[in-house]
């Protein structure tokens, strides 16, 4: 019935076809540009030396005198920071499992990986890693098959235990005999934290990922690594951060919880339920360490899977360190009244230093917390953490004095939070000379081992880079090109066929 109403010519077909071709090309360019931006951020984690990269010199303002010393820093994976509370996650790169340099099947690769914290990212774009390998050789090993089966089975059991725990303790408000000290949504949040978020992560993402790729181990390990890189596992940091609050609430109501546990016939109790997330997170690197050990003992030649599992194991060990360190975040006392922990952003790392204050000319034991928005310096007073200063990343620079010492420099054109609870900011000066004249030293942080400074600087470097990208995009208004072209095409189509 519409015959004759629409007159389509070759010009119309060419125009419409060209428009759709441009839209497809723009989508491809946007995807490539996004990957390029992501690579520019991720590359800050792939450098072998903290002080040997040009980007680090610009971001952290490291002087040349400290570079030569820092290059002699011992291998990062060869030692662990003594301040790290992680003791249960044993790395697969132990001396007992270290093969000789002359062995085949990629074992030389493992020895090299032990000498670099970022071993998991090396050679990831080589042709050998891009080509699929035969998983038959992997599954022919009974021990490796058992480890994979245990990984899947324990993941399912973990989810079921969390569900059962939430069923028992997630709806206490419906219980008539619930004491007033446990009533209310805020008390429920203090008691259970974000354990529901952890359950959703594993039930909706991790377990389906494992089940769908149990015959494709490289994809499984790579996807889990991407979840960690995208902060999907940050829910464990949040959970541990509020651990002490939950423990105190359970301690105050210990008698009631014991009676309730007997009433519902729960053999383990709420304490066992709430400790499972940390136990599960600790279990991951242990299983992967066993997998890597058996991988080498069996002499399997499948480098792509080896690279992926080493990358994931290292990511999980780093995550465990941050999770354990996050328990002290809410213990910081004497915070400014206008600030809470939420203002600081996501927690990234804390390291203990011997600090020297250039203002008061006093030394004290300090712990420096790195957040996405601020660097927070606290003083260790026996068992207390007393707030000293906080600095926004745009107001400071870091200078490496030696492999065990780093200085914090503050730009006078910026403000920093301090004990007088003041925070101010101003525009940065123009010109290199004026900028150098406006910098003054605030603190000098020293650590007994160079590895502590190295790990701390690596984390600070990533935050610097992310802050720089965020600052460069702030205040800019831009529209996706595909949206603009789509709107132009729609206007042209309406004008051409209706008028």
CATH code of residue 472 = 2.30.29.30
Could you read off the pLDDT of 187-223 as tens digits, one per residue?
999 999 999 999 999 999 999 999 999 888 899 999 9
Could you read off the pLDDT of 81-133 as tens digits, one per residue?
333 343 443 333 343 443 433 344 433 343 444 334 444 444 444 444 455 56
Whether residues 286 and 237 share a domain: the answer is yes
Domain closes at, from 266, 297, 329: 329
Task: Tell me whether residue 388 is in a domain.
Answer: yes
Q: Which domain holds residue 366?
A: 1-75+341-410+440-499
Task: Tell me whether residue 217 is in a domain.
Answer: yes
Whether residues 313 and 353 share a domain: the answer is no
Whether residues 299 and 150 share a domain: the answer is yes
Give pTM, 2 decimals: 0.68
pLDDT given for residue 50 in this prediction: 36
Lowest mean per-residue pLDDT among 223-237, 320-334, 399-413: 399-413
Whether residues 125 and 2 share a domain: the answer is no
Question: How many angstroms from the chain centroid is the CA of residue 289?
Answer: 20
Q: What integer is the mean pLDDT of 142-171?
A: 92
Task: Tell me whether residue 87 is in a domain.
Answer: no
Whether residues 319 and 364 share a domain: the answer is no
Task: Tell me whether residue 240 is in a domain.
Answer: yes
pLDDT band at 438 (very low <50, low <70, confident <90, very high): confident
Going by C-alpha positions, the residue among 470, 382, 378, 450 that lies closest to residue 71 is 450
Whether residues 167 and 48 share a domain: the answer is no
Going by C-alpha positions, the residue among 495, 499, 484, 497 that lies closest to residue 19 is 484
Task: Tell me whether residue 355 is in a domain.
Answer: yes
Extract the tokens encoding 498: 């209706």
Pairing of strands 439-446, 405-411: antiparallel
Whether residues 222 and 356 share a domain: the answer is no
CATH code of residue 187 = 1.20.900.10
Residue 263, pLDDT > 70, answer yes
Going by C-alpha positions, the residue among 276, 283, 284, 85 that lies closest to residue 192 is 276
Kindly give the residue spans of alpha helices, DSSP state H, lying in 43-141: 54-60, 64-70, 107-113, 127-130, 136-139
CB-CB contact of 447 with 353 (8 Å): yes
Average pLDDT, the chain: 75
Q: What integer is the mean pLDDT of 270-275?
A: 93
Whether residues 323 and 348 share a domain: the answer is no
Task: Tell me whether residue 396 is in a domain.
Answer: yes
Task: Tell me whether residue 456 is in a domain.
Answer: yes
Whether residues 315 and 348 share a domain: the answer is no
Domain count, the chain: 2
Distances (CA, A) of 68 to 399, 403, 459: 14, 9, 21
* CA dist., res. 410 & res. 442, Å (int): 6
Domain closes at, from 277, 306, 329: 329
Q: How wide is the angle at C-alpha 200 spanned by C-alphas 197 and 201, nearest 5°?
A: 90
The DSSP secondary structure of 235-304, one letter per residue, reads HHHHHHHTHHHHHHHHHHTHHHHHHHHHHTT-SSHHHHHHHHHHHHHHHHHHHHHHHHHHHHHTT---HH
Give the containing element (helix H, strand E) for 40.
helix 10-42
Residue 348, pLDDT > 60, answer yes
Task: Give me the percent of the chain exceeding a pLDDT of 70.
Answer: 67
């Amino acid at each position: 019935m519409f015959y004759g109403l629409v007159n389509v010519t070759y010009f119309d077909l060419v125009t419409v076809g060209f428009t759709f071709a441009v839209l497809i090309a723009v989508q491809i360019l946007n995807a490539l540009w996004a990957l390029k931006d992501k690579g520019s951020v991720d590359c800050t984690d792939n450098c072998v030396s903290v002080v040997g990269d040009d980007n680090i010199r610009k971001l952290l303002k490291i002087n040349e005198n400290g570079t030569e010393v820092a290059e002699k820093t011992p291998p990062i994976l060869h030692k662990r920071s003594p301040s790290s509370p992680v003791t249960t996650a044993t790395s697969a790169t132990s001396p007992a499992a270290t093969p000789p340099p002359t062995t085949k099947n990629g074992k030389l690769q493992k020895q090299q990986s032990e000498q670099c914290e970022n071993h998991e990212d090396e050679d990831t774009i080589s042709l050998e890693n891009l080509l699929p390998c035969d998983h038959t050789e992997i599954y022919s090993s009974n021990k490796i098959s058992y480890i994979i089966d245990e990984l899947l089975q324990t993941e399912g059991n973990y989810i079921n235990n969390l569900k059962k725990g939430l069923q028992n303790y997630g709806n206490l408000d419906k219980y008539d005999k619930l004491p007033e000290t446990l009533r209310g949504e805020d008390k429920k949040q203090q008691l259970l934290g974000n354990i529901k978020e952890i359950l959703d992560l594993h039930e909706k993402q991790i377990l389906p990922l494992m089940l769908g790729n149990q015959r494709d181990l490289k994809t499984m390990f790579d996807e889990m690594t991407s979840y960690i890189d995208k902060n999907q596992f940050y829910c464990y940091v949040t959970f541990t951060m509020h651990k002490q609050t939950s423990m105190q609430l359970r301690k105050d109501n210990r008698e009631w919880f014991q009676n309730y546990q007997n009433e519902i016939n729960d053999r383990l109790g709420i304490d066992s339920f709430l400790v499972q997330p940390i136990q599960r997170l600790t279990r991951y690197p242990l299983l992967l360490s066993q997998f890597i050990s058996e991988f080498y003992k069996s002499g399997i030649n499948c480098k792509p899977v080896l690279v992926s599992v080493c990358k994931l194991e290292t990511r999980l060990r780093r995550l465990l360190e941050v999770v354990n360190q996050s328990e002290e975040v809410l213990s910081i006392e004497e915070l400014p009244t206008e600030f809470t922990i939420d203002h600081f952003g996501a927690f990234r790392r804390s390291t203990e230093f011997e600090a020297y204050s250039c203002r008061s000319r006093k030394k004290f034991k300090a712990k420096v917390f790195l957040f996405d928005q601020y660097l927070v310096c606290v003083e260790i007073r026996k068992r207390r953490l007393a707030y000293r200063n906080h600095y926004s990343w745009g107001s400071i620079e870091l200078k490496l004095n030696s492999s065990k010492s780093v200085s914090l420099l503050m730009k006078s054109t910026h403000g920093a939070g301090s004990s007088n609870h003041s925070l101010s900011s101003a525009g940065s000066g123009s010109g290199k000379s004026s900028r150098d004249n406006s910098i003054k030293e605030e603190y000098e942080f020293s650590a007994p081992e160079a590895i502590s400074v190295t790990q701390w600087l690596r984390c600070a470097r990533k935050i610097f880079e992310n802050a720089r990208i965020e600052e460069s995009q702030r205040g800019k208004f831009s529209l996706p090109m595909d949206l603009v072209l789509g709107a132009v095409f729609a206007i042209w189509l309406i004008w051409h066929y209706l008028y």
